Amino acid sequence: MNDNISLNEIGKKIIFHIDFDYFYAQCEEIRKPELRDIPSVVCVYSGREHDSGVVSTCNYEARKYGVKAAMPIRAAKSKLKDVRAVFLPTDIPYYQEISRNAMKIIQNYGDLFEQVSVDECYVDFTKITNSDFDDAKIFATSLQKNIKEQINLTCSIGVGPNKLISKIASGVNKPNGITVVNQDDAKNFISNCKIEDIPGVGPKTALKLNSLGIKSISDISKKNIFELRDALGYKTATFLANASNAIDYSQIKIRGTSKQIGKIVTLKKDKPEFEQIKMIAATLCASVFENLKNKRQAFRVLTVILILENLQHVSISKSLKLYSASLEELNKNSLLIINEMITNNSISLDNIRRMGVVVSDLKDISGQDSLLNYFEN
DNA sequence: CCCTCGATCAC
DNA sequence: CCTCATATCGAGGG
């Protein structure tokens, strides 16, 4: 992390966090406007059993009935059993296309841009606003209007002196909201947030903080930093201590090529034979390979992940001596690892719930003919 | 330092 | 009942 920034500069920054509202469900509304009036739920069907899987996202009509992201599909259906509602599977390529178009509009504002995910990005508006938060509000309004007019997509924007504040701010007025928190208000703003509002603080970290007697954000700044480090580790402790004072040194970072590519699937409920496991592994490898090929990247590290029936994760990885872009290599090594897992770690086949293949330590190989030959196979 | 593995987060 | 993909951190071993 680059903390190498002079103090004068920090106070002047203006960062936008832009978040597309209920994104997948809103994309579906864009192509099927009739969905706007009824609860709609976009689902990730796992295929394990009928209707097994979770809610990816849903529109605000569905939220009125208590439906939420990450909720089991069956639970969502039960909440909506008495009303007309629509359940749809995800169509990621379609959402990506809408995302690309919207992100393009945002990038046209010119300054430093970091896309965090398909529906989220940060933009540095320091220069274009001349560090004026009133100007920033006008830009946010115009940006929102442009995206709405050109793509028919609504978004929520948080404006702050750093990524942390803008990220939290974008969640304050949703959907279609703008929340501006200037430098002077930032400390007060963060003090009134809940601990779990801080990005990076999930259930586990909240629990650890609680056991230190920390229940509010101002409790964090009162806590001894060394105690905090012992409990949370250096990075998280430092980040949180700063965050509790509305300080965030993290920089907007243009994201290049991916650092890892993976594919994970849920197995059908019946007890798998080893032959089936091998076939699934081959499918996973083929999918990862496709992705690798499209991105023109080679890998050096291969990881196989098993998720057991008790939801425990087990993973084994192997580093190759050389970078590889070969499906053969991928297949061969994934099988080696799976064999090792089953023999060494005494994992029985019918205890496997999900299986995944991930490649990492990736290298861009576009333009390298010798390696590209691998891809033609 | 590098490697491997697990944990955590958040989408 | 419990998806899927990615990034990051830290511990522990070498």
Considering only residues 234-253 of chain A, list those whose CB is below 7 Å from strand C.
234-236
Q: Could you tell me which of A156, A158, A103, A101 has the C-alpha nearest to residue A125?
A: A158
The pLDDT, as a whole number, for residue A373 is: 55
A236 nearest nt, CA–C1' = C9
Active centre residues of A (catalytic)? 120
Query: How far does the CA of A313 sit from the C1' of B6, in Å?
Result: 8
The pLDDT, as a whole number, for residue A111 is: 85
The pLDDT, as a whole number, for residue A24 is: 97
pLDDT means per 10 residues, chain A with 377 residues, are 45 91 97 96 94 95 95 95 96 95 93 94 96 97 97 97 97 96 97 95 94 95 94 95 96 91 93 90 96 94 94 93 93 94 84 95 81 55
- pTM passes above 0.95: no
* Alpha-carbon gap, residue A78 to A75, rounded angstroms: 5
- Name the architecture of domain A23-94: 3-Layer(aba) Sandwich (3.40)
Query: Which amino acid residue lies closest to nucleotide B3, measuring CA to C1'?
Result: A319
- Name the architecture of domain A196-244: Orthogonal Bundle (1.10)
Domain A260-376, CATH number (from 3.40.50.2000, 3.30.499.10, 3.30.1490.100, 3.90.1150.10)? 3.30.1490.100
Considering only residues 45-74 of chain A, list those whose CB is below 7 Å from strand C.
46-49, 52-54, 56, 70, 72-74
The pLDDT, as a whole number, for residue A211 is: 93
Ranges of each domain in chain A: 23-94, 196-244, 260-376
